[in-house]
Amino acid sequence: MKNEENIGKIEQAWKVTNFEVRVYKKGTEIKGHAISSPDEIRQILEDNILILQSLSASKYVRAIKARVTQWERDLNIINDTIDTWIVVQRKWQYLESIFSSEDIK
């Protein structure tokens, strides 16, 4: 029962979790949108991954093993996606000024 409650809490937490998107400006000119620092989401992600790892190690996980495995897979994909997203966003913000200069246009 405790394992099912834990997986239910994880499912509920991710139903209401959203990224905060902000306007990206350079000076006064709006250049686009970017996600704000996802530190809070990363913390939730790490906590949930730890909970899922402890659930996987439990001898009572058999009834919900498929759900636990799927959530582990999904949360690892989310983690990888956030990492890639942040890297691309930083590179885009760096290169944006180069490609928006008049001589490059």
Q: Is residue 67 part of a domain?
A: yes
Q: Is residue 85 part of a domain?
A: yes
What are 46-80's pLDDT values in tens digits? Answer: 999 999 999 999 888 898 999 999 999 999 999 99
Q: Is residue 90 part of a domain?
A: yes
* Number of compact structural domains in the chain: 1
Q: What is the pTM of this model?
A: 0.82
Burial class (CB in 10 A: 0-12, 13-18, 19+), 3: buried
Q: Is residue 105 part of a domain?
A: no
Q: What is the CATH number of the domain that holds 86?
A: 1.20.140.100
- Residue that has been written with the tokens 């509920």 in this structure: 12
Q: Is residue 41 part of a domain?
A: yes
What are 5-47's pLDDT values in tens digits? Answer: 999 999 999 999 999 999 988 878 888 889 988 999 999 999 9
> Residue 58 is part of which domain span?
2-99
